[in-house]
Chain A
Amino acid sequence: MDYIQPYLMLSSILFSMGIYAVITRKNAVAILMGIELILNSANINFIAFNRFGNFNTLDGHVFSIFVIVLAAAEAAVALAIIINLFKNIGTVDVDQAREMKG
């Protein structure tokens, strides 16, 4: 398996699934899960390009570890926001949170 294409395909599928989830899901927690999928697709890309890009360094790995750490932080913050959202409007349905409607 010395070809990059399968990796990129996997990451594309993951990314598309994430985007789909983010756009279509009404539940805020599900949207958060979609975002995690998008982040992981990016991680696969980092690793894949590092492996097939003839780099002698481990930059891609380091980046993906950073992303994982960031994803953890982001999940914490996002969950806190969601809890507050629930406290304020009594649901986690993002369609109900339309305070910013012009």
Chain B
Amino acid sequence: MREILQITSFLFLPLVSFIILIFWGKRFKSHSSTLALGLIGLMVLNSIILFIHTLSHPHHWPLEQSFEWFSTGNLSISLGYYVDNITSIMLMVVSLIGFLVHLYSTEYMKGDPRYSRYFAFLGIFIFSMNGILLADSLIMMYIFWELVGLSSFLLIGFWFEKDKPPLAANKAFLTNRVGDIGMFIGIMILYFNVGSFNINGIINGVGAMNPALLTVAGLLVFMGAVGKSAQFPLHIWLPDAMEGPTPVSALIHAATMVAAGVYMTFRIFPFLTPEALSIVAIVGAITAFGAAIIAITRNDIKAVLAYSTISQLGYMIMALGVGAHQAALFHLVTHAMFKACLFLCSGSVIHAMHHSLHDLNDNDTDPQDMRNMGGLKDKMPITHATMLVSTLAIAGVPFFSGFLSKDAILAGTLSYHHMHHGWTILLPLAGFGAAMITAFYMFRLIFKTFYGKPNNHDIYKHIHESPYVMSIPLMVLSFLSLAFIFTLNLNPLHGHGWFTHLIGHVKHVAGLDMHLVEDGIHHAHNLAMYISLLVATLGIVISVLFYYLKKVDVEKVSNFFNIVGLYSLSKNKFYIEKIYNTILYKPFFMQTKMASFIDWNIYDQKIVDAWGWITLKISKYSAISDYSILDQKIIDGTSHLVQYISSKLRKTQSGIIQNYLLGVLAVLVITIIVINQI
């Protein structure tokens, strides 16, 4: 009972926060953040207790509980939780980052007219995210999956008075739907072949399934992850999602929600067939490399981080594809820490820029454009230091967490190539290439923002470091980006620590020999490490030459690359949105225009209006015949006749009684005569 209470409180605490703030938030006003902070703080404590429990009682695990939700006929759907080491880690990551983002938001969102609603939305997001983590069945995961989509929609479109956020929210929601439909079909295929929604039930039951069908089903379920984790070709929503408040970008669109796709793929990993996994790896590789190239030419500080997020998620998906599931989850957690830190740092910079522009009464300058920054290092020392730490982490520099996890992924791709040869050389190439580009563009961001001379002295003068409420989360997260945290070992090259041990091994049931994969990764480890060190150094050195020492003219280089169209390819995001525009949106709008043309110009204007015209004519003649003939002639004629006759007859009514009497006598006499005649 205590255990059920402890687990379900991960759902109830944020839900209570949501319900109270959405209905009575107006009364709390600025205290609404205190309430939300209190409840999420309790959740953090709870997650730490659960985590300590994980470490101290390993034989109690996993915790499982399930009850029937409803059943109709043969179909029975149950809700339940499945908590193992991985869930425990993820719960702690989500709670911790959620708490820090809440704390950060109290300052960042100060003065917003919908302050309490913002915290309510954060509450429902954490509720649904925890639901995904705890779910023991695909159907329950799907329910929370959609709830996460909803809360993401609400938070992206939080500033709905502006032009762009509602459009971005719609785009995110609709793009996610494409993936979710695939996921739902996949879940249904699995249910009708295995007879269970329960993930462990499916893992135990897929042995009998047709491998080709299992591949298809696995890929369909994976489509959900493609949508949610912004993988190629459904990645287009994530950069637009940056229209939301920056802490939201940190929490949802960098650290947690987008990781849900990776987490889900991790859960279904045991029954993905090798064929499906190779496609997963290709999708991940394309995403990792493509997004990294796009990120080079972004000037918006958040857009760089958005594409960097897509690229890193591509890494995780690629890691799962090559079988390096430990590395995928490891990178998921390290990435959550340093990317949340990066986003919150960028939020801190934007906040400062925004206030500076506000002091200058300047509403036209974009506070997110790096071309307006520069030299902020001295003005914002804490933001600079923390951002530098997390940049070193994402660039893959030893002593920082990103090095370990990225290195493990790259080892996975190398070992995959050793096993399969042929085209698979592209996977490590994409991986190392993306690693180099990542190091390059992240340092480009750092140099353009914090180093060099200020590009705009007026703005620079009014820049101030953010208050402690904002910088404390930065410090905590940058501290958690150190490699030491994950290994408890001072040797920076040693990647195996308590963390990888905790993730443990996964039994694969669909034809992948995990021992072989793990051996391969073990052997490839050293080679991967040296190459990744090399490429990271190369990336950083190029970046230093370009943007810090300015030895190389960036214009010339970009023009050189543009000879083969590379620069404009990156600048225009590989034309993917344009291609979608041409092959999807334009034909669709053509179709709707056609339908509208048929509906309005032909159906409405011709057919419907023709009926109206005919009715009008008929009623016109009907009115003429009704009025001129029936009314004027027959009805009025009768009355005219009556009037004429009565006008004659009334003359007999003289009013003189004696005349009447005379008439009576005359009639009497006539009557008597007539009677006598008979």
Seen from chain A, the residues whose Cβ lies within 8 Å of a Cβ on chain B are 19, 22-24, 31, 94-95, 97-102
Contacts and interface: CB of A to CB of B under 8 A. Distances in A.
Contacts of A22: 658, 661
A24 B662 CA distance: 10
B665 interface: yes
Contacts of B661: 22-23
B665 A100 contact: no
A92 B662 CA distance: 20
Interface stretch (B518-526, B552-560, B646-654): B646-654
A102 B658 contact: no
A98 B658 contact: no
Contacts of A23: 658, 661-662, 665
Contact of A19 (B649, B652, B654, B665): B665
Nearest to B662: A23
28 contacts: A19-B665, A22-B658, A22-B661, A23-B658, A23-B661, A23-B662, A23-B665, A24-B658, A31-B658, A94-B656, A94-B657, A94-B658, A95-B656, A97-B655, A97-B657, A98-B654, A98-B656, A99-B655, A100-B653, A100-B655, A101-B654, A102-B649, A102-B650, A102-B651, A102-B652, A102-B653, A102-B654, A102-B655
Contacts of B652: 102
B655 A101 contact: yes
A79 B655 CA distance: 20
Contacts, number: 31
A94 B652 CA distance: 17
Nearest to A19: B665
B232 to A, nearest CB: 104
B377 to A, nearest CB: 117
Interface string B656-668: 1110011001000
Contacts of A95: 656
A100 B649 CA distance: 14
Interface of B: 649-658, 661-662, 665
B139 to A, nearest CB: 96
A74 B525 CA distance: 145
Given A97-B657, A102-B654, 11 more contacts: A22-B658, A23-B661, A94-B657, A94-B658, A95-B656, A98-B654, A100-B653, A100-B655, A101-B655, A102-B650, A102-B651
Contacts of A19: 665
Nearest to B657: A94
B12 to A, nearest CB: 97
B650 to A, nearest CB: 4
A95 B658 CA distance: 9
A45 to B, nearest CB: 16
B672 to A, nearest CB: 14
Contacts of B656: 94-95, 98
Contacts of B650: 102
Nearest to A98: B655
Q: Which of A19, A99, A101 has its CB near the most chain B CB atoms (within 10 A)?
A: A101
A25 B161 CA distance: 103
Contacts of B649: 102
A94 B657 CA distance: 8
B235 to A, nearest CB: 101
A37 B149 CA distance: 117
Nearest to B665: A19
A22 B652 CA distance: 20
Contacts of A100: 653, 655
Contacts of B653: 100-102
Contacts of B665: 19, 23
A65 B655 CA distance: 34
B349 to A, nearest CB: 106
A8 to B, nearest CB: 16
Contacts of A98: 654-656
B111 to A, nearest CB: 93
Q: Which of B654, B655, B661, B662 has its CB near the most chain A CB atoms (within 10 A)?
A: B655
Q: Which 3 A-B pairs have the closest CB atoms?
A: A102-B653, A101-B655, A98-B655
Nearest to A25: B658
Contacts of A101: 653-655
A58 to B, nearest CB: 29
B38 to A, nearest CB: 100
Q: Which of A23, A95, A97, A102 has its CB near the most chain B CB atoms (within 10 A)?
A: A102
B248 to A, nearest CB: 96
A23 B665 CA distance: 10
Nearest to B660: A100
Nearest to A95: B656
A22 B665 CA distance: 12
A31 to B, nearest CB: 8
Nearest to B651: A102
B670 to A, nearest CB: 16
A102 B657 CA distance: 13
A92 B654 CA distance: 18
Contacts of A97: 655, 657
Nearest to B646: A102
A101 B651 CA distance: 8
Contacts of A102: 649-655
Contacts of A24: 658
A100 to B, nearest CB: 4
A79 B652 CA distance: 28
A100 B655 CA distance: 5
Q: Which of B650, B654, B657 has its CB near the most chain A CB atoms (within 10 A)?
A: B657
A94 B658 CA distance: 9
A85 B650 CA distance: 24
A87 B348 CA distance: 111
A22 B650 CA distance: 24
Q: Which of B649, B651, B654 has its CB near the most chain A CB atoms (within 10 A)?
A: B654
A19 B658 CA distance: 10
B307 to A, nearest CB: 105
Contacts of B651: 102
Contacts of A99: 655
Contacts of B658: 22-24, 31, 94
A95 B659 CA distance: 10
A60 to B, nearest CB: 22
